[in-house]
A and B are shown apart, each in its own frame.
Chain A
Amino acid sequence: MNHSTLHTASYDASSLELDVSALRAQFPILKRSMRGKRFSYLDNGATSLKPEAVIAAESRYYSELSANIHRGVYEFSEQATVEYDRARENVARFIGADRNGSVIFTKGTTESVNVVAYGWARKYLGPGDEIVTTELEHHANLVPWQEACKATGARLRFIPVNPDGSLQLDGLEAVIGERTKLVAITAMSNVTGYMPDLKRVIELAHARGARVLVDGAQYVSHHPVNVSTLGCDFLVFSGHKMCGPTGIGVLYGKNDVLEAMDPLIYGGDMVSKVKRDEASYKPVPDKFEGGTPNIAGAIALGAAIDFLSEVGMQRIVEHERVLLEYLAERASRVDELVSYGPEDLSARGGIFSFNYGDVHPHDAGALLDQEGVAVRTGFHCAQPLMKVFGVTGTVRASLYLYNTTDDIDALIDGLARIKDVFG
């Protein structure tokens, strides 16, 4: 790649895929400044900003409906139920689910993983069985499996990572074997943006008779997804990283496995018949949604999906690609900067992790904050991967549809302040 052309005309705002200024106008928080500077939000891996349409949808539920679902016989309750169900259909369409799969609302990715860890793994696994995960994973897709293995006597195995943070897929056959009952793998590392070849993993896992859970927390918000062609048994993700509200997430699962699973939460609204000593449960998805769900959150997630669909997921991919290349190119000119993750940017989503000299990431982040730049610092809930990189933490910049080269310039120019203080 020719760096000089990258740095000149090819990255003015007009070369970006999206009309960013029109998009940015829809995000109220982008009108704010931070520490008196232009607000450069580069912490999308932690959570995304919310457009007006999503905020309005959440607010409208409370101001116009406010009724519980599935039980009222009056108009507002009926309407709330219709809107909640429509949100579910919206999610299903967004991820390409067909009638062989279902969408269950949870409070987020972590709960979705736990529903499977408790309702499926603890029910069906035992000594001699194996769960395979990777050294890339966010703790949310690691710790529930550690506990499931402790409880069942199953063994936890790992697809190892290369020094650059990519997965060692060459030895895959040695890890995913006849004893493997589940492969739990991320679609995109929250530390480096690396996207493993899921197709290859899923095909091998299925050939071995194992189920596959894909952690889509970082991927689904930034890429087109089709679970029917991908073929995974479960897909888990959160609403708040995809322009939706906090407290709402999704567990997609194939119906045959969902039907065979136990619920994690028992109580009202998930039962079909209750006697004094026992109860029977509603079919999928209702049996997994005991209690009053996050109705406003689900409806607002539906609005977020409408928003993203209108922008176009493929255009978001291309927009972030241009920004990531610009960021990598500017970063490559900073001598003190060490970045982590595969050099091949085409294998990565819009995440850039780095350290500046031997400055602790927390100090670097605090000084960038003074420049209006919001980044994440620390080990990003991925301690095993930090160990591979031999660091205790990194500074992470993560991109989204409303970011511009101005945000990246603020980040890179902000590094000068770190140099001033720490030399």
Chain B
Amino acid sequence: MSLEDDLYKEIILENYRSKKNRRKIEGATLHAEGANPSCGDDLELFLSIEDGVVADASYDGVGCSICCASANLLCESLHGRSTADAQRILGQFKGMLLDELEPEFEDEISDLEAMQGVKHYPVRIKCALLPWNTLEGLLDGVQ
């Protein structure tokens, strides 16, 4: 397996380049910053919650392709989800990268599996996890 097969596959590069969720949300219900001090990744995550459901999710900041692709996939996967759902997706995503668990994402969010190859590159796991760890902090605040 080459790096291009594992890490820099098309689906990840597409999510990295996508600008759809790369924006601030004015008046977001939840907002937090996350940083990886060693590599300079520095993100903000925004969630708009209406009646317990994620109405909008976005991110902004600087990060490598893996970090930004992961953030974009996170935002895509949370649209229209309840916070309980978000918590479950978060658990699955972290389990996939940290505990080698086979992910069971529903079809609509199965793109998240594209990040699975990152686990072969230990130094990049923290890049992929930064948005999700930031989300974890946000959701902990909700409960």
Contact surface of A with B, Cβ cutoff 8 Å: 360-363, 366-367, 370, 377-379, 386, 392-393, 420-422
- Total count of chain B residues near the partner, CB < 8 A: 19
**Bound: A146/B13 CA distance, A:** 41
B38 beta carbon closer than 8 Å to chain A? yes
The reply to whether B7 and A366 form a contact with Cβ atoms under 8 Å apart is yes
User: What are some 18 contacts across the A-B interface (CB < 8 A)?
Assistant: A360-B64, A362-B64, A362-B66, A363-B8, A363-B65, A366-B3, A366-B121, A367-B3, A370-B3, A378-B39, A379-B40, A386-B40, A392-B42, A392-B62, A420-B4, A421-B8, A421-B13, A422-B65
1/0 contact string of B60-91 vs chain A (CB within 8 Å):
00111110000000000000000000000000
1/0 contact string of B127-143 vs chain A (CB within 8 Å):
10000000000000000
Closest Cβ of chain B to A263, distance in Å, is: 31
Chain B residues positioned under 8 Å from A392 (CB to CB): 40, 42, 62
The reply to whether A362 and B42 form a contact with Cβ atoms under 8 Å apart is no
Besides the known contacts A362-B127, A378-B39, 11 further A-B residue pairs in the complex with CB atoms under 8 A apart: A360-B62, A362-B39, A363-B8, A363-B66, A367-B3, A377-B39, A392-B42, A393-B40, A421-B8, A421-B13, A422-B65
Closest 3 CB pairs of A and B: A362-B64, A360-B64, A393-B40
Chain A residues positioned under 8 Å from B7 (CB to CB): 366
Chain A residues positioned under 8 Å from B124 (CB to CB): 362, 366
Chain A residues positioned under 8 Å from B8 (CB to CB): 363, 367, 421
Chain B residues positioned under 8 Å from A420 (CB to CB): 4
State which of A360, A362, A379, A421 has its C-beta within 8 Å of the C-beta of B4.
A421
Closest Cβ of chain A to B109, distance in Å, is: 24
**Bound: A147/B39 CA distance, A:** 24
Which of B40, B42, B121: most chain A CB closer than 10 A?
Answer: B40
Chain B residues positioned under 8 Å from A393 (CB to CB): 39-40
Closest Cβ of chain B to A305, distance in Å, is: 31
The reply to whether A378 and B3 form a contact with Cβ atoms under 8 Å apart is no
Instruction: Say whether, besides A377-B39, A392-B40, A392-B42, A360 and B3 are in contact (CB < 8 Å).
Output: no
Closest Cβ of chain A to B129, distance in Å, is: 14
1/0 contact string of B38-70 vs chain A (CB within 8 Å):
111110000000000000000000111110000
**Bound: A370/B3 CA distance, A:** 7
Closest Cβ of chain A to B11, distance in Å, is: 13
**Bound: A421/B8 CA distance, A:** 7
Residue of B nearest to A380 (CB): B40
Which of A361, A366, A370, A393: most chain B CB closer than 10 A?
Answer: A366
State which of A360, A370, A379 has its C-beta within 8 Å of the C-beta of B2.
A370
**Bound: A51/B65 CA distance, A:** 37
**Bound: A362/B121 CA distance, A:** 12
1/0 contact string of B7-48 vs chain A (CB within 8 Å):
110000100000000000000000000000011111000000
Residue of B nearest to A418 (CB): B8
**Bound: A361/B41 CA distance, A:** 11
Closest Cβ of chain A to B126, distance in Å, is: 10
Residue of A nearest to B63 (CB): A360
Which of B2, B3, B13: most chain A CB closer than 10 A?
Answer: B3
Chain B residues positioned under 8 Å from A363 (CB to CB): 8, 64-66
The reply to whether B38 and A378 form a contact with Cβ atoms under 8 Å apart is yes
**Bound: A211/B38 CA distance, A:** 32
Closest Cβ of chain A to B104, distance in Å, is: 29
**Bound: A305/B72 CA distance, A:** 51
Closest Cβ of chain A to B24, distance in Å, is: 18
Chain A residues positioned under 8 Å from B39 (CB to CB): 362, 377-378, 393
**Bound: A377/B62 CA distance, A:** 14
Residue of B nearest to A369 (CB): B3
Chain A residues positioned under 8 Å from B121 (CB to CB): 366
Residue of B nearest to A383 (CB): B40
Chain B residues positioned under 8 Å from A367 (CB to CB): 3, 8
Chain A residues positioned under 8 Å from B41 (CB to CB): 362
Closest Cβ of chain A to B13, distance in Å, is: 7
